[in-house]
Every structure is written in C-alpha cells, then in structure tokens.
Structure 1
Amino acid sequence: MQADRPAPRAKAPGKRERLITAAAQVFHEQGVEKTTLGDIARAADVPVGNVYYYFKTKDQLVEAAIGAHAQQLQDLTALLDQLPTPQDRLKALVGGWVGQRDLAARFGCPFGTLASELDKRDDGLDQAAATVMRLLIDWAERQFRAMGHDDARDLAVTMISAYQGMSLLTNTLRDPDLMTTQGARLQGWIDSLA
C-alpha cells in the first residue's frame, strides 16, 4: 500500500522565463527606451549579471517580449476558439479587453504601446511587432468569415482599430469607463453583424 504523497507542484518559472515576463511588463509600464536591464532584473528578481547570461542586449529582451506576446495571443485565441460561435468568440475578446480597462487607463494596450514605440525604429523589431498584430487581425478575420462576411478582412481591421483607439483614449484620458462604454458599443456592433 502506498503512502499518500502530496500532489506535485507546478515547476516555478526559471530565470529566463521570469526575465521575459518582467521585460514585457516593464516595457509596457515605462517603454523600451526608458527601461534598463537593471529595471528588468529587479522586476524578475534576478541579479543583473544573470541577465547577460540569457540576453546579451536589451534588443534580445525586446524580441523575447514580442515572442511572449505572440504566445499569449495564441493561447488566448485557442481558448476563445472553444466558444461555440464566432460572434461569441469576438465578443469574449472584447470582454477581455474591457476587463483590462484599469491597466489600459494607466499604461495603454500592452502590445499596442510596444508596437507603436518600436515602429519608430528601423531595426527589424518593428516588423516583428507588426507580425504579432497581424496574428490578431488574421484571427478576427477568420471569425468574421465564419459569420459569412465577404469583407471579413476589413471588418477585422475595423475591430482591431477600434480596440487600439479606445485603448489609446482610455490611457490618454485616464478613463477606464471609456473602455467599458466603447467595449459595449463594439460588442453591439458585432451583434449587428451576426
């Protein structure tokens, strides 16, 4: 007879994963240019010297943060894809955005602000960020196409543009209620297309 054993605990994230998570968070909160490797090391609770073991430059951390955003998006859309209808999926996406309204009021869209900042550069990171934005547009396009719309790409761009706009205004005006109101309007728009 076996003795009762405690359930195995989830493995804690390693230093590299903590650095990537911290980089994405700190870049969102203070921007890439203002962020130092020391800021990221502190947020990850990793000695600054260890950062260089995993990432030789801040740009490598930016690349890793972009990759983390892409993975989060893929995980989110896989979860949303389990909902029964494309209308439900799109509305749930908007609901998730509205659920982050306080964060958006303080710092803006986690990925949109990064993409906007990187667009001012010409080192390839701008294109890496654009690729992630395209993933979201492509997913939304598939939902609108499944709803029977021939102009699915245009509708997807309209939806993502509306989100980026409401996120920017929510941040600029420091008004989370704006995201709530505009999110409800966006969900109503989705319903009108069903």
Structure 2
Amino acid sequence: MTDSKKGDRVPVITKRGKRERLTAAAVKMLHEQGVEKTTLADIAQAADVPVGNVYYYFKTKDDLVEAAIGAHAQSLQAMITSLDELTTPQDRLKTLIGGWVRQRDLAARYGCPTGTLASELDKRAGGLDRTVADVMQVLIDWTEQQFHSMGRSDSRDLAVALIAAYQGISLLTNTFRDPELMAREGDRLARWIDSLGRSPRDPDDPR
C-alpha cells in the first residue's frame, strides 16, 4: 500500500519469501517422503527456515499440505496455459505426454507427485483428499476439451482413459524403478492420440 512506512515493507518481503520457500519445500518433501513421514522440522530444514518460525506462517502440518496442493494447482495452470499456445489439440495432448516422459526418472523414484499425494490423503480425515481431487479434476476437464476439439463424442471417457493410463504407468514405473516403462508408454499413448484422429477407438482401451 502507498501509505506504508518504509520500515514496514521489509518484514512483508521476508514473510513472503519464507512462506514461498516453506511451500516449495513441502511440495518436495511430501513427494519424496509422503505426508505421514514428513515432519514440520523436515520442511523447515529443506526451506532453510528456523522450525520455530514455521508456525508463524502455517499453524499445522495440514495447512502446509494444503499450501503444497495449491502449488500443484498453480503449476498445473501454468502448464495448461503453455499447452494452450500450441495449434492443435493433438499437439497439446502429445506435448502433455512428453512432459510426463521427461519426468520419468523422478517418477521412478517417487511416483507421480499429485497422484501419490491423492492416494495418501484418501486415507486421512480432514477433507484434503477432496482438495487434491479438485486439482486432478482440472487436468481431466482440460484433457476432455482437447478430445472434444478433435471431434470426439466420447471425449470424457477418453480423457479419463488418458489420465488413468498415466497414473497407472507412474505406479508401475515407481514400483519397478524403471524409467523406460514410462518412456515406452509415452510412445504408445502418442500413437494412440494420432490414431484417434483417424478412427474411433474404445475409450477404455487406449492404444
């Protein structure tokens, strides 16, 4: 605000920086260790913030988990904005798949960041499972729009099939610690996207 004193501005900047660092650290640690194993001390250390300061920004670990989900939502929106700059829905979908494949080493170690978080939160009370589900819903809705733009009357089913295929291969890639599983599935899904422009396919059998 224009009437703030000069001396009042520094804490605001510091506060914002620490909050962002804590959120980024939460995203990383929750992906690598999971919700139950990750402590506020782990996040504070990763963010280079004194653990006693964490409570100034986040009262509970659930507050930090919610902030991490919000960060996932922001990253997803940024990705969608970038994909929407491409000319055709086929290019957008195949570029989405290519992005998944580029993260195959990370998936082999820890799985899908949003998918693993959703799976873990489903077993906890508090409602954060629905919050992360809303993030995944955004991706499904956007994917459905791409198939609809391709003229597919079964666009919803195809969108669910594509996201399900990605979540499934993320699980297998992580289970077997094999990044090439993701690479091969990415190639298959790209061919499937191309085939959908030529002839109808069973939405439950992407190939």
1:167 aligns with 2:170: yes
What is the aligned partner in structure 1 of residue 70 from structure 2? 67
Partner of 2:42: helix, strand, or coil? helix
- CA deviations on 1:39-75 (whole Å, 9 max, x unpaired) are 0001111111111100000000000000100110000
With normalisation by structure 2, the TM-score equals 0.87
CA distance in 1, matches of 2:94, 2:109: 23
1:19 aligns with 2:22: yes
Runs (5+) with no aligned partner, structure 1: 1-10
Q: Percent identity?
A: 71
What is the aligned partner in structure 1 of residue 183 from structure 2? 180
Q: Which amino acid aligns with 2:159?
A: A
* Displacement after TM superposition at 1:121 (Å): 1.7
CA distance in 1, matches of 2:165, 2:83: 19
What is the aligned partner in structure 2 of residue 7 from structure 1? none
1:145 aligns with 2:148: yes
1:157 aligns with 2:157: no
Query: Where does 1:75-86 land on structure 2 (aligned, <5 Å)?
Result: 75-86=78-89
1:119 aligns with 2:122: yes
1:133 to 132, 136, 159: 136
CA distance in 1, matches of 2:123, 2:146: 31
What is the aligned partner in structure 2 of residue 3 from structure 1? none
Query: Where does 1:91-110 land on structure 2 (aligned, <5 Å)?
Result: 91-110=94-113
Q: Which amino acid aligns with 2:82?
A: L
With normalisation by structure 1, the TM-score equals 0.93
CA distance in 2, matches of 1:152, 1:70: 23
CA distance in 2, matches of 1:38, 1:136: 32
Partner of 1:14: helix, strand, or coil? helix
2:49 to 22, 46, 49: 46
* Displacement after TM superposition at 1:120 (Å): 0.9
* Displacement after TM superposition at 1:177 (Å): 0.4
* Displacement after TM superposition at 1:123 (Å): 1.4
The count of aligned residue pairs is 184
